[in-house]
Structure 1
Amino acid sequence: MTRQSILLFIALFLVAGIADAQSKYTTKSFQILINGTSNVHDWSSKATNVTVTGDFLVNNNIPEKINNATVKVQTKSLKSTKDSDLMDERTHSTLKADKFPEIVYVFTKVINVQQSGGETIMNVSGNLTLGGVTKPTDLTLRVKTLANGDLEIKGSKKILMSTYGIKPPSFMLGAMKVADEVTLSYSIVLKKS
């Protein structure tokens, strides 16, 4: 085997290894909650229709990089955890669900990555579109490879509705006012597609 052949073999081996380590993933299960407060009581809504797609670089079961990722939540799939139809109507109206049927987060880049006790902690940037308004939004993702090869992603993010031009709703002729800040919590499991 000539030196040139050896170099070509090594290059092909490396490319094959990298290609094998990069995998496309889709939603297997999810729990996405929006939690908020008001001057009367706390409230919570859960997303019931979510699609996540992504391309991750995983080496030796350790997630190292995200090449691309998109999260889509059907706005009208947000349902009150207390099964309140009135709350659902107000939530959908506040988020302009008829005009903007999806809440979308599109990953743009990884800011930094660190390993911590079997988890990969990734700080990432992306663009969040809420009620038709798109703003850059950073997230901290705790990513773990499960025994079956699925990826588990967890985290939370505080968001001001006013940043997206959304006026927090009020109820009972203004007697109950919802606070501007909400917390988005997510626990998502992705499977190889």
Structure 2
Amino acid sequence: MNIVTNMIGAVFLLSGYCACGQYNYSLFEDHVIKIHGSSNIRDWTESVQKASGGASISWNNDGSFDLNASSLVMVVQSIKSKKGSVMDEKTHKALKSEKYPVIEFALTTPLRSVLAYANGYAVTASGNLSIAGVTRPVQIRVKLFTTGRRRIVAEGSCQINMLDYGIDPPAALFGMLKVTEDITIQFRGLFIANDYY
């Protein structure tokens, strides 16, 4: 097992929750995770190419669901940009990738009886976000769409300040380009049920 698989599994084991009608979901590999930021010269975007995730959901008879556990793990070394290897290397160094190879979000507060609106669900997920060895609580607004209980599409975003995680915003061009400290992590992914109790 690799480190990502171990961390995903730990979330479900520690949740200690198992209920009749519970589905466990895994993030399908065809996901889109972007990191958006800006600088004194231009805006920039990077993509997270390798990530794993999971969720544990119990569906209720009224169509609502309970979100019992959820996690997302992103591999730092897989973060790439269209600006080339120099920016990639600066990003990996700023995120201390050799010591802390992943960025992880883990749900800390289960959600109960989430009801649909229009054609989907809207939730506020409270959890811990760990970056570069620092863990801080965050709230993420997420929209969920499903045409059945075995396939769920989740999309949302989270804005953070790099200084809150002890990260020095990278600079380039001999200091002429300075990255601002606020960034937004935006994601969209398909979660597929892999078992059913």
Instruction: Judge same fold: TM > 0.5, yes or no.
Output: yes
2:67–2:111: 8 Å Cα contact kept in structure 1?
no
The residue number in structure 2 matching 1:108 is 108
2:89 counterpart letter in structure 1: E
For residues 19-168 of structure 1, the aligned pairs below 5 Å read 19-20=20-21, 22-28=22-28, 29-59=30-60, 62=63, 64-80=65-81, 82=82, 84-110=84-110, 113=114, 115-147=116-148, 149-168=150-169
Instruction: Tell me by how many angstroms 1:53 deviates.
Output: 1.3
Moved more, 128-137 or 101-110: 101-110
Moved more, 120-129 or 53-62: 53-62
Structure 1 runs (4+) greater than 6 angstroms displaced? none
Three-state SS of the structure 1 residue aligned to 2:97 is coil
Instruction: Tell me by how many angstroms 1:43 deviates.
Output: 0.8
1:146–1:152: 8 Å Cα contact kept in structure 2?
no
Instruction: Tell me by how many angstroms 1:114 deviates.
Output: 5.0
Instruction: Tell me by how many angstroms 1:83 deviates.
Output: 5.1
Post-superposition CA distance 1:20-52 (Å, at most 9, x none): 2x1000011311100000011111111111000
User: 1:19–1:95: structure 2 CA closer, same or farther, 3 Å change rule?
Assistant: same
Post-superposition CA distance 1:115-152 (Å, at most 9, x none): 32111111111000001100011111101113583110
Q: TM-score, normalised by structure 1?
A: 0.84
Q: Give the Cα separation in 2 of the matches to 1:98 and 1:38.
A: 25
2:71–2:107: 8 Å Cα contact kept in structure 1?
yes
The residue number in structure 2 matching 1:182 is 183
User: 1:98–1:61: structure 2 CA closer, same or farther, 3 Å change rule?
Assistant: farther
Q: Give the Cα separation in 1 of the matches to 2:23 and 2:189.
A: 17
Q: Give the Cα separation in 1 of the matches to 2:104 and 2:63.
A: 27
2:68–2:111: 8 Å Cα contact kept in structure 1?
no
Q: Give the Cα separation in 1 of the matches to 2:135 and 2:185.
A: 16
Higher relative helix content = 1
Gaps spanning 5+ residues in structure 2: where? 1-18
2:63–2:115: 8 Å Cα contact kept in structure 1?
no
What RMSD, in angstroms, separates the aligned Cα atoms of the two structures? 1.9
Of structures 1 and 2, the larger Rg is shown by 1
1:49–1:77: 8 Å Cα contact kept in structure 2?
yes
